[in-house]
Structure 1
Amino acid sequence: MTRSIDYGNLMHRAMRSLIQEVLSDVAENGLPGAHHFFITFDTRADGVEMADWLHSRYPEEMTVVIQHWFDNLNVDDDGFGVTLNFGNNPEPLYIPYDAIQTFVDPSVEFGLRFETQDSEEEEAPEEDGDDDPPPAGDRPEAEVVSLDKFRKS
Protein backbone atom coordinates (compact mmCIF):
# COMPACT_ATOMS: atom_id res chain seq x y z
CA MET A 1 0.00 0.00 0.00
CA THR A 2 1.46 3.32 -1.00
CA ARG A 3 1.04 6.35 1.18
CA SER A 4 0.51 9.77 -0.35
CA ILE A 5 -0.10 13.31 0.82
CA ASP A 6 -3.68 14.44 0.27
CA TYR A 7 -2.93 18.03 -0.75
CA GLY A 8 -6.53 18.68 -1.81
CA ASN A 9 -7.92 17.82 1.61
CA LEU A 10 -5.16 19.75 3.39
CA MET A 11 -5.84 22.81 1.22
CA HIS A 12 -9.60 22.64 1.86
CA ARG A 13 -9.01 22.49 5.61
CA ALA A 14 -6.64 25.46 5.44
CA MET A 15 -9.12 27.50 3.36
CA ARG A 16 -11.98 26.70 5.76
CA SER A 17 -9.75 27.71 8.68
CA LEU A 18 -9.06 31.03 6.93
CA ILE A 19 -12.82 31.65 6.54
CA GLN A 20 -13.36 30.79 10.20
CA GLU A 21 -10.64 33.23 11.29
CA VAL A 22 -11.96 36.06 9.09
CA LEU A 23 -15.56 35.59 10.23
CA SER A 24 -14.50 35.33 13.89
CA ASP A 25 -12.71 38.67 13.57
CA VAL A 26 -15.79 40.25 11.93
CA ALA A 27 -18.04 38.82 14.67
CA GLU A 28 -15.82 40.42 17.30
CA ASN A 29 -14.85 43.70 15.61
CA GLY A 30 -17.26 44.28 12.70
CA LEU A 31 -16.40 44.64 9.02
CA PRO A 32 -13.39 46.89 8.44
CA GLY A 33 -13.53 49.52 5.71
CA ALA A 34 -15.14 48.44 2.44
CA HIS A 35 -14.78 44.71 3.12
CA HIS A 36 -17.84 42.57 2.43
CA PHE A 37 -18.42 38.93 1.54
CA PHE A 38 -20.34 36.97 -1.07
CA ILE A 39 -20.74 33.42 0.19
CA THR A 40 -22.27 30.75 -2.04
CA PHE A 41 -23.26 27.52 -0.36
CA ASP A 42 -25.05 24.25 -1.07
CA THR A 43 -28.46 24.50 0.59
CA ARG A 44 -28.78 20.68 0.51
CA ALA A 45 -25.62 20.10 2.56
CA ASP A 46 -25.78 18.41 5.95
CA GLY A 47 -26.11 20.92 8.78
CA VAL A 48 -27.49 23.85 6.75
CA GLU A 49 -30.26 25.56 8.68
CA MET A 50 -32.58 28.02 6.94
CA ALA A 51 -36.26 28.93 6.79
CA ASP A 52 -38.43 26.59 4.73
CA TRP A 53 -39.49 29.42 2.42
CA LEU A 54 -35.84 30.25 1.68
CA HIS A 55 -35.03 26.60 1.06
CA SER A 56 -37.99 26.37 -1.35
CA ARG A 57 -36.72 29.42 -3.19
CA TYR A 58 -33.11 28.20 -3.23
CA PRO A 59 -33.35 24.38 -3.34
CA GLU A 60 -29.73 23.76 -4.43
CA GLU A 61 -27.51 26.74 -3.80
CA MET A 62 -27.72 30.25 -2.46
CA THR A 63 -25.43 33.27 -2.33
CA VAL A 64 -25.61 35.52 0.70
CA VAL A 65 -23.97 38.90 1.18
CA ILE A 66 -22.53 39.99 4.48
CA GLN A 67 -22.15 43.73 4.13
CA HIS A 68 -24.46 46.49 5.38
CA TRP A 69 -26.99 44.65 7.51
CA PHE A 70 -26.29 41.45 9.36
CA ASP A 71 -26.80 40.44 12.96
CA ASN A 72 -25.96 37.65 15.40
CA LEU A 73 -22.83 36.48 13.58
CA ASN A 74 -21.70 33.46 15.60
CA VAL A 75 -18.74 31.42 14.44
CA ASP A 76 -17.83 27.93 15.64
CA ASP A 77 -15.55 25.11 14.52
CA ASP A 78 -18.11 23.63 12.10
CA GLY A 79 -19.64 26.74 10.51
CA PHE A 80 -21.30 30.03 11.25
CA GLY A 81 -24.71 31.40 12.05
CA VAL A 82 -25.91 34.80 10.96
CA THR A 83 -29.19 36.68 10.69
CA LEU A 84 -29.66 38.39 7.31
CA ASN A 85 -32.39 40.61 5.94
CA PHE A 86 -34.50 39.18 3.09
CA GLY A 87 -36.99 41.85 1.93
CA ASN A 88 -37.35 43.29 5.45
CA ASN A 89 -37.62 39.75 6.88
CA PRO A 90 -34.70 39.00 9.22
CA GLU A 91 -33.93 35.29 8.90
CA PRO A 92 -31.35 33.25 10.81
CA LEU A 93 -29.09 30.92 8.80
CA TYR A 94 -26.51 28.37 9.82
CA ILE A 95 -23.93 27.51 7.17
CA PRO A 96 -21.39 24.73 7.79
CA TYR A 97 -17.96 25.35 6.26
CA ASP A 98 -18.34 22.10 4.32
CA ALA A 99 -21.39 23.59 2.52
CA ILE A 100 -19.46 26.63 1.24
CA GLN A 101 -18.74 26.62 -2.49
CA THR A 102 -17.28 30.12 -2.86
CA PHE A 103 -16.15 32.86 -0.49
CA VAL A 104 -15.37 36.21 -2.10
CA ASP A 105 -14.38 39.62 -0.75
CA PRO A 106 -14.60 41.82 -3.87
CA SER A 107 -13.27 44.88 -2.04
CA VAL A 108 -9.78 43.38 -2.19
CA GLU A 109 -10.30 40.98 -5.13
CA PHE A 110 -9.97 37.92 -2.90
CA GLY A 111 -11.83 34.69 -3.48
CA LEU A 112 -11.85 31.01 -2.64
CA ARG A 113 -13.61 28.29 -4.60
CA PHE A 114 -14.18 24.82 -3.22
CA GLU A 115 -14.40 22.02 -5.74
CA THR A 116 -16.40 18.97 -4.75
CA GLN A 117 -15.07 15.47 -5.27
CA ASP A 118 -17.89 14.78 -7.75
CA SER A 119 -16.99 17.70 -9.99
CA GLU A 120 -13.28 16.85 -9.82
CA GLU A 121 -14.01 13.30 -10.93
CA GLU A 122 -16.22 14.49 -13.79
CA GLU A 123 -13.60 16.96 -15.00
CA ALA A 124 -10.66 14.56 -14.69
CA PRO A 125 -9.43 13.30 -18.05
CA GLU A 126 -10.11 9.66 -18.70
CA GLU A 127 -7.16 7.32 -18.49
CA ASP A 128 -6.21 5.73 -21.77
CA GLY A 129 -4.02 3.06 -20.18
CA ASP A 130 -0.79 4.55 -21.52
CA ASP A 131 1.39 5.28 -18.49
CA ASP A 132 4.42 6.39 -20.52
CA PRO A 133 5.05 10.15 -20.59
CA PRO A 134 4.98 11.79 -24.02
CA PRO A 135 8.34 12.15 -25.78
CA ALA A 136 10.25 15.29 -24.79
CA GLY A 137 9.49 17.02 -28.08
CA ASP A 138 5.73 16.49 -27.63
CA ARG A 139 5.53 17.97 -24.13
CA PRO A 140 4.26 21.55 -23.83
CA GLU A 141 6.80 23.96 -22.40
CA ALA A 142 6.03 25.06 -18.84
CA GLU A 143 5.47 28.75 -18.18
CA VAL A 144 6.59 30.28 -14.88
CA VAL A 145 4.34 33.13 -13.81
CA SER A 146 5.44 35.61 -11.16
CA LEU A 147 2.86 36.38 -8.48
CA ASP A 148 4.03 40.00 -8.59
CA LYS A 149 2.12 40.28 -11.88
CA PHE A 150 -1.14 39.97 -9.89
CA ARG A 151 -0.32 42.22 -6.94
CA LYS A 152 -1.96 45.64 -6.62
CA SER A 153 0.40 48.59 -6.72
Structure 2
Amino acid sequence: MAGKLLDYNQMVETALRGAVREAIKRASEFGLPGNHHFYITFRTDQEGIDIPEYLHERYPEEMTIVLQHQYWGLEPGEDAFQVTLSFNKVPERLVVPYAAITAFADPSVQFGLQFRVAPNPEFRPVAAVTEVAGDGAATPADEAAADQADGAERKTGDVVALDAFRKKKP
Protein backbone atom coordinates (compact mmCIF):
# COMPACT_ATOMS: atom_id res chain seq x y z
CA MET A 1 0.00 0.00 0.00
CA ALA A 2 3.01 2.26 0.44
CA GLY A 3 3.08 4.92 -2.26
CA LYS A 4 -0.56 4.38 -3.34
CA LEU A 5 -3.30 6.86 -2.57
CA LEU A 6 -6.51 5.74 -0.98
CA ASP A 7 -9.30 5.69 -3.57
CA TYR A 8 -12.15 7.04 -1.46
CA ASN A 9 -14.47 7.30 -4.45
CA GLN A 10 -14.08 3.58 -5.08
CA MET A 11 -14.57 2.78 -1.40
CA VAL A 12 -17.81 4.79 -1.28
CA GLU A 13 -19.06 3.19 -4.49
CA THR A 14 -18.35 -0.28 -3.07
CA ALA A 15 -20.29 0.62 0.09
CA LEU A 16 -23.23 1.94 -1.95
CA ARG A 17 -23.30 -1.26 -4.03
CA GLY A 18 -23.59 -3.02 -0.67
CA ALA A 19 -26.73 -0.94 -0.02
CA VAL A 20 -28.16 -2.13 -3.35
CA ARG A 21 -27.31 -5.73 -2.44
CA GLU A 22 -29.04 -5.28 0.95
CA ALA A 23 -32.17 -3.75 -0.67
CA ILE A 24 -32.38 -6.69 -3.08
CA LYS A 25 -31.81 -9.13 -0.22
CA ARG A 26 -34.64 -7.60 1.82
CA ALA A 27 -36.96 -7.61 -1.20
CA SER A 28 -36.20 -11.30 -1.73
CA GLU A 29 -36.95 -12.13 1.92
CA PHE A 30 -39.92 -9.89 2.64
CA GLY A 31 -41.19 -8.62 -0.73
CA LEU A 32 -41.46 -4.96 -1.63
CA PRO A 33 -43.63 -3.11 0.91
CA GLY A 34 -46.02 -0.35 -0.05
CA ASN A 35 -45.15 1.37 -3.30
CA HIS A 36 -41.47 0.42 -3.26
CA HIS A 37 -40.10 -0.68 -6.61
CA PHE A 38 -36.65 -0.81 -8.14
CA TYR A 39 -35.32 0.44 -11.46
CA ILE A 40 -32.01 -1.32 -12.01
CA THR A 41 -29.84 -0.32 -14.97
CA PHE A 42 -26.84 -2.46 -15.80
CA ARG A 43 -24.17 -2.93 -18.44
CA THR A 44 -24.96 -5.96 -20.58
CA ASP A 45 -21.36 -6.18 -21.78
CA GLN A 46 -19.86 -7.10 -18.42
CA GLU A 47 -18.32 -10.35 -17.22
CA GLY A 48 -20.81 -12.43 -15.26
CA ILE A 49 -23.92 -11.09 -17.03
CA ASP A 50 -26.22 -13.92 -18.06
CA ILE A 51 -29.19 -12.82 -20.17
CA PRO A 52 -30.78 -14.42 -23.24
CA GLU A 53 -28.98 -13.70 -26.50
CA TYR A 54 -31.97 -11.87 -28.02
CA LEU A 55 -31.97 -9.43 -25.09
CA HIS A 56 -28.25 -8.90 -25.44
CA GLU A 57 -28.74 -8.17 -29.15
CA ARG A 58 -31.52 -5.70 -28.33
CA TYR A 59 -29.53 -4.11 -25.48
CA PRO A 60 -25.85 -4.58 -26.42
CA GLU A 61 -24.56 -2.06 -23.88
CA GLU A 62 -27.12 -1.24 -21.20
CA MET A 63 -30.52 -2.42 -20.03
CA THR A 64 -33.00 -1.33 -17.37
CA ILE A 65 -35.28 -3.73 -15.53
CA VAL A 66 -38.10 -2.97 -13.12
CA LEU A 67 -38.77 -5.01 -10.01
CA GLN A 68 -42.23 -4.16 -8.84
CA HIS A 69 -45.25 -6.46 -8.95
CA GLN A 70 -44.22 -9.18 -11.39
CA TYR A 71 -40.88 -10.79 -10.76
CA TRP A 72 -40.08 -14.28 -9.61
CA GLY A 73 -37.23 -16.12 -7.93
CA LEU A 74 -35.28 -13.08 -6.77
CA GLU A 75 -32.05 -14.51 -5.39
CA PRO A 76 -29.40 -12.16 -4.03
CA GLY A 77 -25.87 -13.52 -3.96
CA GLU A 78 -22.60 -12.09 -2.74
CA ASP A 79 -21.49 -10.84 -6.17
CA ALA A 80 -24.67 -10.98 -8.28
CA PHE A 81 -28.43 -11.37 -8.10
CA GLN A 82 -30.76 -13.54 -10.15
CA VAL A 83 -34.36 -12.84 -11.07
CA THR A 84 -36.96 -14.12 -13.50
CA LEU A 85 -38.89 -11.53 -15.50
CA SER A 86 -41.35 -11.81 -18.36
CA PHE A 87 -40.35 -10.57 -21.82
CA ASN A 88 -43.17 -10.79 -24.36
CA LYS A 89 -44.91 -13.33 -22.11
CA VAL A 90 -41.80 -15.53 -21.92
CA PRO A 91 -40.19 -15.95 -18.49
CA GLU A 92 -36.43 -15.35 -18.64
CA ARG A 93 -33.83 -15.81 -15.92
CA LEU A 94 -31.31 -12.96 -15.62
CA VAL A 95 -28.06 -12.98 -13.68
CA VAL A 96 -26.71 -9.50 -12.93
CA PRO A 97 -23.44 -8.87 -11.09
CA TYR A 98 -23.65 -5.90 -8.73
CA ALA A 99 -20.47 -4.59 -10.37
CA ALA A 100 -22.39 -4.25 -13.68
CA ILE A 101 -25.08 -1.97 -12.19
CA THR A 102 -24.86 1.62 -13.43
CA ALA A 103 -27.99 2.97 -11.72
CA PHE A 104 -30.39 1.94 -8.99
CA ALA A 105 -33.55 3.86 -8.11
CA ASP A 106 -36.58 3.45 -5.89
CA PRO A 107 -38.86 6.26 -7.11
CA SER A 108 -41.39 5.62 -4.33
CA VAL A 109 -39.01 7.21 -1.83
CA GLN A 110 -37.11 9.44 -4.27
CA PHE A 111 -33.90 7.44 -3.87
CA GLY A 112 -31.35 6.90 -6.58
CA LEU A 113 -27.71 5.96 -7.08
CA GLN A 114 -25.43 6.09 -10.09
CA PHE A 115 -22.25 4.05 -10.52
CA ARG A 116 -19.27 4.13 -12.84
CA VAL A 117 -18.91 1.00 -14.98
CA ALA A 118 -16.47 0.95 -17.87
CA PRO A 119 -17.62 -0.71 -21.10
CA ASN A 120 -16.14 -4.15 -21.75
CA PRO A 121 -16.11 -4.55 -25.55
CA GLU A 122 -14.33 -7.91 -25.29
CA PHE A 123 -17.18 -9.61 -23.40
CA ARG A 124 -19.10 -12.15 -25.47
CA PRO A 125 -22.24 -13.48 -23.77
CA VAL A 126 -22.94 -17.18 -23.66
CA ALA A 127 -26.41 -18.12 -24.88
CA ALA A 128 -28.68 -18.60 -21.89
CA VAL A 129 -31.05 -21.51 -21.46
CA THR A 130 -34.56 -20.62 -20.38
CA GLU A 131 -36.03 -22.76 -17.65
CA VAL A 132 -39.76 -22.81 -17.01
CA ALA A 133 -40.99 -24.29 -13.76
CA GLY A 134 -43.68 -26.96 -13.79
CA ASP A 135 -45.19 -28.16 -17.06
CA GLY A 136 -44.75 -24.77 -18.71
CA ALA A 137 -48.51 -24.28 -19.14
CA ALA A 138 -49.60 -20.73 -18.38
CA THR A 139 -52.64 -20.13 -16.21
CA PRO A 140 -54.88 -17.08 -16.72
CA ALA A 141 -53.22 -15.52 -13.65
CA ASP A 142 -49.79 -16.15 -15.17
CA GLU A 143 -50.89 -14.53 -18.44
CA ALA A 144 -52.25 -11.47 -16.60
CA ALA A 145 -49.04 -11.21 -14.59
CA ALA A 146 -46.96 -11.54 -17.75
CA ASP A 147 -49.00 -8.83 -19.47
CA GLN A 148 -48.40 -6.50 -16.55
CA ALA A 149 -44.69 -7.34 -16.51
CA ASP A 150 -44.53 -6.75 -20.26
CA GLY A 151 -46.00 -3.30 -19.67
CA ALA A 152 -43.31 -2.64 -17.06
CA GLU A 153 -40.68 -3.97 -19.45
CA ARG A 154 -41.81 -1.60 -22.19
CA LYS A 155 -41.49 1.30 -19.77
CA THR A 156 -37.84 0.46 -19.18
CA GLY A 157 -36.96 2.34 -22.35
CA ASP A 158 -37.92 5.59 -20.62
CA VAL A 159 -35.06 7.71 -19.39
CA VAL A 160 -35.11 8.18 -15.64
CA ALA A 161 -33.16 11.20 -14.47
CA LEU A 162 -31.90 10.25 -11.05
CA ASP A 163 -31.38 13.92 -10.19
CA ALA A 164 -35.17 14.11 -9.85
CA PHE A 165 -34.97 11.71 -6.91
CA ARG A 166 -32.30 13.62 -5.01
CA LYS A 167 -33.40 15.97 -2.28
CA LYS A 168 -32.89 19.59 -3.20
CA LYS A 169 -31.35 22.02 -0.77
CA PRO A 170 -33.68 24.88 0.24
Distance verdict in 2 for CA 1:117–1:4, change over 3 Å: farther
Deviation of 1:6 after TM superposition, in Å, equals: 1.1
| Alignment correspondent of 2:39 | 38
| Alignment correspondent of 2:156 | none
2:115 matches 1:114? yes
Matches within 5 A, 1:1-153: 2-116=3-117, 150=169
Deviation of 1:93 after TM superposition, in Å, equals: 0.1
C-alpha distance in 2 between matches for 1:148 and 1:105: 13
Deviation of 1:67 after TM superposition, in Å, equals: 0.5
Deviation of 1:148 after TM superposition, in Å, equals: 8.3
C-alpha distance in 2 between matches for 1:117 and 1:34: 32
| Alignment correspondent of 2:145 | none
Deviation of 1:3 after TM superposition, in Å, equals: 3.8
Select the structure with the greater relative contact order (CA < 8 A; seq sep ≥ 6). 2
Deviation of 1:117 after TM superposition, in Å, equals: 5.9
Q: Structure 2 length normalisation: TM-score?
A: 0.67
- Runs of 4+ displaced beyond 4 Å: 147-151
Aligned residue-pair number: 123
Residues 50-80 of structure 1, C-alpha deviations (whole Å, 9 max, x = no match): 0111111111110000011000000011010
Residues 75-106 of structure 1, C-alpha deviations (whole Å, 9 max, x = no match): 01101000011121111000001100000000
Identity %: 44
| Alignment correspondent of 1:128 | none
Q: Structure 1 length normalisation: TM-score?
A: 0.74
SS for the counterpart of 1:34 is coil
Distance verdict in 2 for CA 1:51–1:116, change over 3 Å: closer
Distance verdict in 2 for CA 1:53–1:107, change over 3 Å: same
Deviation of 1:2 after TM superposition, in Å, equals: 3.2
**8 Å Cα contact 2:50-2:94 kept in structure 1:** yes
